[in-house]
Amino acid sequence: MSANKETVMKYIDGFNKNDHDQILSCLTDDIEWTVFGHFHLVGKEAYDNEIDGQEFAGPPVLKVVRMVEENDVLMAELSGEVPRPDGEVMRMVVGEVFVMRDAKIAERRAFLVELKENEYK
């Protein structure tokens, strides 16, 4: 497994455990995070403040479906669930683009789709 893939796997593991230190250790200081349709932020402090997510009541459970890599760009297909404050569980699929620099995540671009009926809708 490449160093870039190892970093992304460590990052996802950190997210699943809500381990801020582990997550932040995978990022460059000038990290950019975009979740299309929701937000864009820059920098580790802003990133740290958004990890827990205001819409959620706990860490997600994310699973890597597949990952492909070319040079310093990884694309990952993820599936997951995350609890909401009202007790409901949001199911989702996520397409992620990770732009890497020196085996750290310099940019994360997420395309998130909430699933309400089945595995695709």
The CATH number for 14's domain is: 3.10.450.50
Domain contains 57: yes
Q: Does residue 120 sit within a domain?
A: no
Binning pLDDT at 50, 70 and 90, where does residue 84 land?
Answer: very high
Q: In this predicted structure, what is the pLDDT of residue 30?
A: 98
Answer whether residue 26 is part of any domain. yes
Model pLDDT, residue 42? 98
Q: What is the pLDDT of residues 41-80, one digit of tens each?
A: 999 999 999 988 778 888 899 999 999 999 999 999 999 9
Q: What one-character-per-residue DSSP string does 6-63 give?
A: HHHHHHHHHHHHT-HHHHHHTEEEEEEEEETTTEEEESHHHHHHHTT-TT-SS--EEE
Give me the amino acid identity at 91: R
* Domain-embedded: residue 121: no
Does 95 reside within a domain? yes
For 9, the domain range is: 3-115
pLDDT class of 34 with cuts at 50, 70, 90: very high
What is the torsion angle, in degrees rounded to the nearest 10, for the CA atoms of residue 89, residue 90, residue 96 and residue 99? -60
Number of domains in the chain: 1
CA 57 to chain centre: 16
Q: Is residue 14 part of a domain?
A: yes
Residue 89 included in any domain: yes
Environment class of 54 (CB within 10 Å of its CB; exposed 0-12, middle 13-18, buried 19+): exposed
